[in-house]
Amino acid sequence: MAGYKETPRQKMIGMMYLVLTALLALNVSVEILNAFLVVNESMETTNKTFNSKTTDFYQSFERQFQNEPDKVGAYWEKAKQARQLSDEMKAYINNVKYEAIAKSERIPLDSAKVKPLYLMGSKDKYDETTVYFIGGSSDGSKGKAGEMKNKIAKFKADLINLVDAADRSNIKLGLDLKGPFYDADHKEQNWEMHNFYHTILAADVTILNKLVAEVQNAELDVVTHLRSKIGATDFKIDQVGATVVPKSQYVFMGENYEAEVFVTARDSKQEFTANIGGLRTSQDGVIKVSLPATSPGQKSIPGIVNMKKPDGTIVATKVTFDYIVAPPSLSVSATKMNVFYIGVDNPVMISAGGVSPDQINASITNGSIARNGGEWVVRPATVGKASVSVSAKLGDRMKSMGAVEYRVKNVPSPEAFIANTNGGAVSKDLVIASGAIIPRMPADFEFNLNFVVTTFKFSGNRKGDIQDYTSNNNSLTPQMKEFIKGARRGDKIILEDIFAKGPDGKTRKLNSIVLTLQ
């Protein structure tokens, strides 16, 4: 073999073999390329669906602002700023995506915006995109990737500034720019090199669509937090009742008895203090005033009631007690609230001064009223108003003692809860353990009513793929539980189209629940 010399043809064939081997080594397999196409298509669908659901959330937020502008206004303004920041960031990322496609495919930018990824001839190439993203710098900081990293960092800073400083540690925006990131040899890289150095066009497009999804997630986390802060410093009302305030407790013959009925709402756990007529008194939840009636006639007693708000500030309210020392007149008051509800027993206390309870009769203009032991029970028939008229047997005759008018409403809808929450961050183990949606009546609603969930829909996003399930009762199906078990920290699930049947046999649609799994 010594002295053997290759012919020019053999040298050429050998060189071509080496080139082919190198090309095969650099070529991306068809399976991997197809995987990128599938993932990217799923990401684009997810982004559209997520954007639609976020729009619905904003519309609900805006309706709340229209109903309570003074209370919601500051939070709604910040929510609109969050949407503007998100829209600008998404538009920038999408423009970067189209520029990368245009450079790799060597087509105009407008054409790049409409050309599907699977039709791109350079989807498995990285030369043009690496130059575009990394530029002439060794770490990518001077290319488009470096510019994009800086814009994402500013977006995160601007977004978190919409949240109060004390709450910022509870907000996880994602969009990790610090890593650490490692290459195939486990050498540490920065964000630019890790994502865009020698990355084929198909992967670049998928990564950029993933960034759009993360921007939307960050936006929704902040806006959800802003909405949760509405009413955080309000009094926490857990009891509602009715108070009848007469213009006079004593009525002469020939005069009219006149009174105003007020809704009274209070926190039974809230401590109040008061100074009434120089007498200081306090009691958890209720202040009882006892003023001696030493002489007849018109009385007027001033006072101050001090209430501590949840944030610690004190609200002082001036009050005046005007009354006449005389035998009491008719008193008609609902024991729970000044509204009668259809389909439930509404208890009412009725009394008249100097008249035995068994000598009192009552009637109502809407529905029925019946005696039940020491009180009366009202069952109204239709929505509107109902007037309760009272008469008393005095000797051998019946005397009208007056009438009181009430509003009549349908019972309010319950709110859907799961794992003791109606939305927000929650442990996925707790969701699985709870296993069912429980309807709860509003905290200020005094009647114990049972609503039964008949159906609901479940949707979740796993690795860019939206999965939907339906339950025909209030319980999570095995498929739903398996999805939750496989979810990652920060993934979101949505329970919506929740329908429940009430004691009146009518079905109502309840609120949707958006959960961030921990």
The C-alpha atoms of residue 514 and residue 493 are separated, in whole angstroms, by 6
Angle, helices 201-228 vs 69-105, to 10°: value is 180
* pLDDT value at residue 268: 58
Q: DSSP secondary-structure letter at 161?
A: T
As its CATH architecture, domain 233-324 has Sandwich (2.60)
CA distance 380 to 411: 12
The rounded average pLDDT for each run of 10 residues, N- to C-terminus, in the chain (518 residues) is 49 49 47 72 80 85 86 87 90 91 90 86 85 85 88 90 83 82 83 86 88 88 84 54 53 49 58 64 56 60 69 68 51 64 86 75 93 90 91 79 87 92 93 94 84 95 84 95 90 94 87 93
- The per-residue pLDDT for 290 is 63
pLDDT at 26: 44
Q: Which of 248, 221, 168 is nearest to 424 (CA)?
A: 221
The phi-psi region of residue 449 (left if phi > 0; otherwise alpha if psi is between -120 and 50; otherwise beta) is beta
Q: Does the reported pTM lie above 0.75? A: no
| CA distances in angstroms from 509 to 209, 225, 474, 492, 501, listed in the order given | 34, 25, 13, 22, 9
pLDDT at 322: 63
Rounded Cα gap, residues 313 and 315, in angstroms: 7
Please, are residues 442 and 412 in contact by the beta-carbon 8 Å criterion?
yes
Q: What is the pLDDT of residue 3?
A: 45
DSSP 3-state percent helix, strand, coil across the chain (nearest 5): 35, 30, 35
Q: What is the pLDDT of residues 237-246, one digit of tens each?
A: 555 555 555 5
How far apart CA 165 and CA 143 sit, in angstroms, is: 34
Separation between Cα atoms, residue 216 and residue 83, nearest integer Å: 9
* Contact (CB, 8 A) for 249 and 326: yes
Q: Specify the CATH number for 330-410; select among 2.60.40.1080, 3.30.420.40, 3.40.50.1220, 3.70.10.10.
A: 2.60.40.1080
**The predicted structure's pLDDT at residue 27:** 47
Query: CB within 8 A of 69, min separation 6: which ones?
Result: none
Q: Please count the other Cβ atoms lying within 10 Å of the Cβ belonging to residue 386.
A: 21
